């Protein structure tokens, strides 16, 4: 399977390449990217949802690929994670 680099706001994630007409594959790719971004923080789902102010169930559905996350939301989350990582902050209690 071919791989491609999925770059979201400076966070590079390697994923399997998908056919642009395959919406299920796109949903899975975004779910995988979202999970990889969360793992960059070292947080579990609950802590990450609290930190972002997004309901846990919504995040769970996105991460498991059951619901399609809007592209702009993924970009905004990646942007926030990249900026906080650059500042050296990932003690989510102090953010």
What is the band of 58 on the pLDDT scale with cuts at 50, 70, 90? very high
Is residue 56 assigned to a domain?
yes
Q: What's the number of domains the chain is made of?
A: 1
Is residue 19 assigned to a domain?
no
Is residue 42 assigned to a domain?
yes
Is residue 65 assigned to a domain?
yes
pLDDT per residue as tens digits for the range 3-49: 666 666 667 666 666 566 666 777 888 888 899 899 889 999 999 99
Determine the structural domain holding residue 43 and report its residue range: 24-86
CA distance 82 to 19: 28
pTM of the model: 0.72
38: domain CATH number is 1.10.260
- Concatenated DSSP letters of 18-56: --TT-HHHHHHHHHHHHHHHHHHHT--HHHHHHHHT--H
């Amino acid at each position: 399977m071919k791989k491609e680099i999925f770059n979201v706001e400076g966070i590079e994630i390697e994923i399997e390449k998908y056919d642009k007409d395959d919406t299920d594959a796109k949903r899975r790719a975004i779910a995988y990217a979202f999970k990889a971004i969360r793992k960059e923080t070292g947080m579990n789902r609950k802590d990450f949802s609290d930190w972002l102010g997004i309901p846990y169930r919504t995040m769970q559905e996105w991460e498991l690929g059951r619901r399609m996350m809007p592209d702009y939301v993924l970009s905004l989350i990646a942007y926030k994670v990249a900026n906080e990582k650059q500042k050296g902050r990932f003690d989510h209690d102090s953010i």
